[in-house]
Amino acid sequence: MLLKNFDKYLNHNSEVNMSLKMIIDKMARTQAIRHKMNNSIEEEEKVSFSISVKAFQQEASEFKISSIDDFLKSSLFRKKY
């Protein structure tokens, strides 16, 4: 029974992390487009920009996700960002 409950926790955590990845990916795309438009950069060029933790937390809270801490420590986040 304990293992079954632990599996539910892991699955929930995984689903939350995937949701957070989709949220931050969307924020990154939007920020990149905005940066390119403001600086007249062609689409093919890579740009550097940042997203504040506070803005990410606020966006996550709109999806009823109260904590981003586990996601920021996850390999899903570290691998891409």
Give Cβ neighbours of residue 33 (< 8 Å, ≥ 6 apart): none
Q: Is 68 exposed, middle or buried (0-12, 13-18, 19+ CB in 10 A)?
A: buried
- Give the confidence band of 10 by pLDDT, cuts at 50, 70, 90: very low
- The single residue listed with the structure tokens 């029974």 is 1
- Give the confidence band of 34 by pLDDT, cuts at 50, 70, 90: confident
Confidence at residue 8, expressed as pLDDT on a 0 to 100 scale: 53
Task: Tell me which residue of 8, 14, 20 sits closest to 66, measured CA to CA.
Answer: 20
Give Cβ neighbours of residue 59 (< 8 Å, ≥ 6 apart): 23, 27
- pTM score, whole prediction: 0.74
